[in-house]
Amino acid sequence: MKPLFKKLFLLLLVVLLVGSCTSKTGEGDAATSTAKDEAIREYNIDIQKAQAKNRFPCDTISLQEYILSNYEGGTYLVRFDKTYTFNIPKPAVIYFRDGNSNYILAVIAKSKPGERNIEAKNITGYESSFINLDSTKLGTAFFFLTLFECKESKFERIWESEVPIHGGFNRMSIKTWAPKNIKYVEMNYEDGIISGHRNYNFFLVDGWRKPPHLLETYVGIVHKRTLAMVNNDKFPDYYEYRFIEDSLRIRVRDSIPFYWSEKRQLYITDKNPRWFRKY
């Protein structure tokens, strides 16, 4: 039996077994759902392998296999949001070289234990940004920005940093913070709740191999936080804006500078000692 047909046979077998199993308590639901999901993913990976024309070490097909084999069930490689109405979203992966190292940046989503497994289509784009109001029905997604190194055609995980949001992923890009010439990874999320977007910016203040420093910026109708340099250290800072709004107009009231305190490991401001932010 050819490998592809063998995979298809196993997939159909799993589906039949799941369909025939019933549980009054629901304790077996998660296990059967994960088994079915993994069988489908293995089958889809085999299809991709059969159709791929240009493979290379540590490519996205290999990365999907690595995640399936080395992470807990319900963990997925995220895809970018659709650029156009009918295009197929690409995996949220960036390949780049720094010095003698070949790196892979990837956005990985993990399902919350005890809840149903997430579906990749439910965590990207504008509509999925409302999942933050009640994510339990569709499962809760925990996003992680992860850096891998490709060594001898194998993945080595250098670090992973959690993104404090559950849905609305749009895109990812590598940028440079000009004042200190520091690289950072900007992760852009749609946010329908504030009628705008949020950027989770991971700054490589100590180079690529050390865990990054997180700073959040955002723009909405009455929400705004912009990147800044307040105290001239190696850590980025920001201005947080206050607004005045009534039935006629919305206008900026003032802006408050926040800067990073290495001692407290928090963003603080001289405006009020009781005001602080984690990122």
pLDDT of residue 275: 96
Token pair 């109405």 in the structure block, residue: 85
For residue 24, tell me if it sits in a domain: yes
Residue 45 lies in a domain: yes
Q: What rounded mean pLDDT belongs to the chain?
A: 89
Measured distance CA(275)–CA(279) in Å, rounded: 13
DSSP classification of residue 124 = B
Are 48 and 63 within 8 A, CB to CB?
Answer: no
Element (H or E) spanning 65, and its range? Answer: helix 60-70
pLDDT digits (tens, 9 = 90+) for 204-251: 999 999 999 999 999 999 999 999 999 999 999 999 999 998 888 998
> For residue 11, is it within any domain?
yes
Contact 14, 36 (CB under 8 A): yes
Lowest mean pLDDT among 15-24, 40-49, 135-144, 187-196: 15-24
What does the DSSP 8-state code read for residue 136? G
User: Residues 203-234, buried b or exposed e (16+ Cβ, 10 A)?
Assistant: bbbeebeeebbbbbbbbbeebbbebbbbeeee
Give yes or no for a contact between 179 and 173, defined as CB atoms under 8 angstroms apart: no
Helix axes 29-51, 60-70, angle to 10 degrees: 160
* Amino acid letter, 90: K
Residue 180 falls inside a structural domain:
no
Question: Strand pairing of 141-151 and 154-163?
Answer: antiparallel
Residue 148 lies in a domain: no
73, 42 contact by CB (below 8 A):
no
Q: How many domains does the chain have?
A: 1
Query: Which of 20-34, 115-129, 179-193 shows the lowest per-residue confidence on average (mean pLDDT)?
Result: 20-34
Q: Are 278 and 266 in contact (CB under 8 A)?
A: yes
| Domain enclosing residue 28, as ranges | 1-51
Please check whether residue 159 lies inside any domain of the structure: no
Sign of the CA dihedral running 135, 226, 270, 206: positive
Distance of alpha carbon 30 from its chain centroid, rounded? 23
| Local structure of 176: helix, strand or coil | strand
| Paired tokens of 132 | 């933050």
In this structure, is residue 196 part of a structural domain? no
pTM for the whole structure:
0.86
Q: What is the pLDDT of residues 53-92, one digit of tens each?
A: 899 999 999 999 999 999 999 999 999 998 766 678 899 9
